[in-house]
């Protein structure tokens, strides 16, 4: 037991060790505010931003291995800036909580440290996006913020009254309508526990159970839509714990995509069913097919000629599963007979 705890908390580097301890502290905080003493929104949400921001800086350092010395120094400086910004945000919102919740928005005066905190919050969030998502989204956020300040100088329909630094601060952090709005409410609340459960669930062998349930759903069809049904159902179920289309393709797609291609689906059609199930199920619901596509909709990627000429082959589901799992080699003692 002692060796296992040591392996968890004592990591190869100091950075990873600090990140592990802060992760445990944040988990303890979530347990406290969920089961013992619920915190108000304007305390919980800033604490979530600061905690996740510092964890992003610790767990996802900038890749500077092959970069110049200047880039390495800049990355190190930004890391320390992120740590300091997170601490500042925590101290600010704990000490200024009563003033923030009792003030009149856009009427009471702002102080210099309100504006500084707004800048630090945005810098911390954009830094986390740069580390985890990439540069395009950070650029998009920068353009959106810049538009708010430069809109009064733009022509035509792009013109509007615009923002100044005070209005921008009021909108972003001085209430629950900006950064601390409904999206952050979900992220700091029930979504945290869903992600924690998903990580624990997918970390063991439980994820395979959901995939097998999806395969059983497809096994009931006796036409060319069986592999698509299996892919959609298993992808939906596994997506509940992965939360990522890329993770679905890397897990269930290993055998569902080859399975669909054997039935006559195009490579693009097979991949779209596997990786794009969120968009496809929404499209199916809009066209009266319900939350999960039925056999006709699931087979829409087949050409009209292939769909008309496809013969019912229940054994294709078995062969697709076995071939996908064993890289083209039939498994001995196959357990997927229909």
Question: pLDDT tens digits for 73-102?
Answer: 998 999 999 999 999 999 999 999 999 999
Could you tell me the pLDDT band of residue 125, with boundaries at 50, 70 and 90?
Answer: very high
> In the chain, how long is the greatest CA-to-CA distance?
76
More confident residue, 315 or 64: 64
Q: What is the mean pLDDT of the chain?
A: 74
Could you tell me the pLDDT band of residue 169, with boundaries at 50, 70 and 90?
Answer: very high
Residue 49: count of CB within 10 angstroms of its CB: 25
Say if residue 240's pLDDT is above 80.
Answer: no
Q: How many CA atoms lie within 13 A of 66 on its CB side?
A: 0
Average pLDDT over residues 101-128: 92
Helix axes 253-262, 267-275, angle to 10 degrees: 140
pLDDT recorded at residue 194: 73
pLDDT recorded at residue 316: 44
More confident residue, 13 or 48: 48
Which has the minimum average pLDDT: 194-208, 247-261, 266-280? 266-280
Average pLDDT over residues 37-53: 91
pLDDT recorded at residue 204: 60
Contact by Cβ (8 Å): 230, 256: yes
Could you tell me the pLDDT band of residue 206, with boundaries at 50, 70 and 90?
Answer: low
Say if residue 337's pLDDT is above 70.
Answer: no
Say if residue 124's pLDDT is above 70.
Answer: yes
pLDDT recorded at residue 209: 65
What single DSSP character describes residue 205?
T
Could you tell me the pLDDT band of residue 281, with boundaries at 50, 70 and 90?
Answer: very low
Could you tell me the pLDDT band of residue 277, with boundaries at 50, 70 and 90?
Answer: very low
Average pLDDT over residues 5-19: 77
- The percent of the chain in helix, strand and coil, each rounded to the nearest 5, is 70, 0, 30
Average pLDDT over residues 227-237: 72
pLDDT recorded at residue 272: 59
pLDDT recorded at residue 305: 39
From CA 195, how far away is CA 57, in angstroms rounded? 19
Average pLDDT over residues 232-249: 68
Contact by Cβ (8 Å): 100, 45: no
Average pLDDT over residues 196-209: 65
Whole-number percent of the chain with pLDDT over 90? 27
């Amino acid at each position: 037991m002692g060796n296992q705890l040591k392996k968890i908390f004592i990591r190869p580097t100091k950075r990873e060790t600090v990140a592990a301890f802060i992760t445990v502290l944040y988990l303890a905080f979530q347990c406290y505010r969920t089961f013992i003493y619920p915190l108000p929104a304007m305390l919980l949400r800033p604490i979530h931003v600061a905690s996740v921001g510092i964890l992003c800086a610790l767990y996802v350092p900038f890749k500077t291995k092959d970069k110049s010395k200047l880039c390495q120094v800049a990355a190190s400086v930004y890391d320390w800036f992120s740590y300091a910004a997170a601490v500042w945000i925590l101290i600010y919102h704990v000490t200024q909580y009563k003033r923030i919740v009792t003030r009149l928005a856009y009427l009471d005066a702002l102080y210099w440290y309100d504006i500084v905190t707004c800048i630090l919050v945005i810098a911390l969030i954009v830094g986390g996006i740069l580390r985890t998502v990439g540069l395009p989204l950070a650029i998009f956020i920068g353009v959106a913020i810049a538009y708010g300040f430069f809109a009064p100088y733009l022509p035509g329909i792009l013109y509007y009254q615009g923002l100044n630094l005070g209005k921008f601060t009021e909108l972003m952090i001085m209430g629950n309508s900006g950064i601390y709005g409904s999206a952050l409410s979900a992220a700091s609340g029930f979504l945290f526990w869903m992600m924690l459960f998903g990580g624990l669930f997918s970390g063991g062998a439980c994820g395979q159970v959901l995939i097998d349930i999806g395969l059983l759903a497809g096994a009931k069809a006796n036409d060319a839509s069986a592999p698509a049904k299996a892919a959609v159902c298993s992808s939906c179920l596994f997506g509940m714990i992965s939360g990522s289309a890329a993770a679905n393709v890397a897990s269930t797609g290993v055998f569902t995509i080859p399975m669909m291609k054997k039935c006559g689906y195009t490579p693009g059609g097979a991949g779209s069913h596997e990786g794009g199930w969120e968009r496809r199920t929404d499209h199916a619901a809009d066209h009266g097919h319900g939350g999960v596509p039925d056999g006709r909709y699931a087979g829409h990627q087949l050409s009209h000629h292939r769909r008309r000429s496809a013969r019912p082959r229940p054994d294709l589901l078995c062969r697709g599963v076995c071939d996908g799992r064993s890289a083209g080699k039939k498994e001995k003692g196959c357990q997927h007979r229909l």
